[in-house]
Amino acid sequence: MSPNVLLGAYVSIEQLLGLRFRPSPKDPLGSKVATGAQAGLRLSKQKGRGVDFAEVRQYQPGDDIRSIDWRVTARKNVPHTKVFREERERPALMFVDQSQHMFFGSQQRLKSVAAAELAARIAWQITAGGDRIGGMVLDNLGHHMFRPFRTVRATGRLLQQVAQSNQQLARPTSDTANAEAARRRLNDALTAMNQLRQRRNRVFVISDLAGPLDVWQSSLHRLARHHHVHVVQISDPLDSELPPTGVYNIAHGDQTVSFYSGDTALRTRYASDYEKRDAQIVELCRHPALTHRKLSTADTDWDAIPWT
For the chain, give the mean pLDDT. 85
User: Are 205 and 220 contacting, i.e. CB atoms less than 8 angstroms apart?
Assistant: yes
The alpha helices in 77-207, defined as continuous H runs, are: 111-128, 152-167, 179-194
Find the mean pLDDT for residues 180-198.
91
Q: What is the pLDDT of residue 31?
A: 42
224 or 45, which is more confident?
A: 224
Task: Please state the length of the chain.
Answer: 308
Q: What is the pLDDT of residue 307?
A: 62
The reply to whether 7 falls in a domain is no
Residues 190 and 277 in one domain: yes
CA 210 from centroid of its chain's CA atoms: 16
* Residue 274 pLDDT exceeds 80: yes
Residues 108 and 53 in one domain: no
Residues 45 and 110 in one domain: no
**H-helix or E-strand spanning residue 219:** helix 213-223
Residues 223 and 268 in one domain: yes
In three-state secondary structure terms, 256 is strand
* Residue 173 pLDDT exceeds 90: no
Residues 291 and 179 in one domain: yes
Q: What is the pLDDT of residue 24?
A: 67
Query: 63 falls in which pLDDT band (50, 70, 90)?
Result: confident
The reply to whether 8 falls in a domain is no
Q: What is the pLDDT of residue 1?
A: 46
The reply to whether 301 falls in a domain is no
142 or 63, which is more confident?
A: 142
Q: How many angstroms separate the CA atoms of 30 and 12, rounded? A: 27
Find the mean pLDDT for residues 34-44.
42
Q: What is the pLDDT of residue 2?
A: 55
Residues 292 and 168 in one domain: yes
User: Are 207 and 97 contacting, i.e. CB atoms less than 8 angstroms apart?
Assistant: yes
Lowest mean pLDDT, pick from 22-31, 82-91, 213-222? 22-31
Q: What is the pLDDT of residue 124?
A: 94
Residues 68 and 146 in one domain: no
Query: 196 falls in which pLDDT band (50, 70, 90)?
Result: confident
Q: What is the pLDDT of residue 257?
A: 87
Name which of 166, 235, 205, 189 is nearest 16 in CA terms.
166
* Residue 265 pLDDT exceeds 90: yes
Name which of 103, 107, 106 is nearest 116 in CA terms.
103
Q: What is the pLDDT of residue 44?
A: 47
Looking at the chain, the whole-number percentage of residues with pLDDT higher than 70 is 85
Q: Which of 68, 88, 108 is the last residue of a domain?
A: 88
Residues 170 and 274 in one domain: yes
Sign of CA dihedral 215, 165, 206, 40: positive
Q: How many angstroms separate the CA atoms of 196 and 245, rounded? A: 49
Domain interval for residue 229: 13-31+90-296
Query: 299 falls in which pLDDT band (50, 70, 90)?
Result: confident
The reply to whether 5 falls in a domain is no
Claim: this prediction has a pTM higher than 0.85: no
Residues 75 and 180 in one domain: no
User: Are 91 and 198 contacting, i.e. CB atoms less than 8 angstroms apart?
Assistant: yes
Name which of 30, 11, 54, 47 is nearest 228 in CA terms.
30
Domain tally, the chain:
2
Burial of 50 (0-12, 13-18, 19+ CB in 10 A): middle
Q: Which of 88, 106, 126 is the last residue of a domain?
A: 88
Phi-psi group of 211: left, alpha or beta (phi > 0 → left; psi -120 to 50 → alpha; rest → beta): left
Q: Which residues contact residue 283 at a Cβ distance below 8 angstroms, ignoring those fewer than 6 apart?
A: none
Residues 80 and 104 in one domain: no
The reply to whether 81 falls in a domain is yes
The reply to whether 303 falls in a domain is no
Residues 27 and 54 in one domain: no
Q: How many angstroms separate the CA atoms of 158 and 136, rounded? A: 8
In three-state secondary structure terms, 170 is coil
* Residue 39 pLDDT exceeds 60: no
Query: 10 falls in which pLDDT band (50, 70, 90)?
Result: very high
User: Are 105 and 166 contacting, i.e. CB atoms less than 8 angstroms apart?
Assistant: no
Q: How many angstroms separate the CA atoms of 204 and 135, rounded? A: 9
Lowest mean pLDDT, pick from 65-69, 72-76, 215-219? 65-69
Q: What is the pLDDT of residue 255?
A: 79
Residues 63 and 142 in one domain: no
Strand partners, 234: 295
23 or 135, which is more confident?
A: 135
Find the mean pLDDT for residues 257-273.
93
* 87-118 pLDDT tens trace: 556 789 999 999 999 999 998 899 999 999 99
User: Are 87 and 43 contacting, i.e. CB atoms less than 8 angstroms apart?
Assistant: yes
Q: How many angstroms separate the CA atoms of 52 and 57, rounded? A: 15
The reply to whether 189 falls in a domain is yes
Angle of helix 213-223 relative to helix 179-194, nearest 10 degrees, comes to 10
The reply to whether 306 falls in a domain is no
Query: 34 falls in which pLDDT band (50, 70, 90)?
Result: very low
User: Residue 256 maps to which CATH number?
Assistant: 3.40.50
Find the mean pLDDT for residues 163-190.
88
Q: How many angstroms separate the CA atoms of 220 and 191, rounded? A: 10
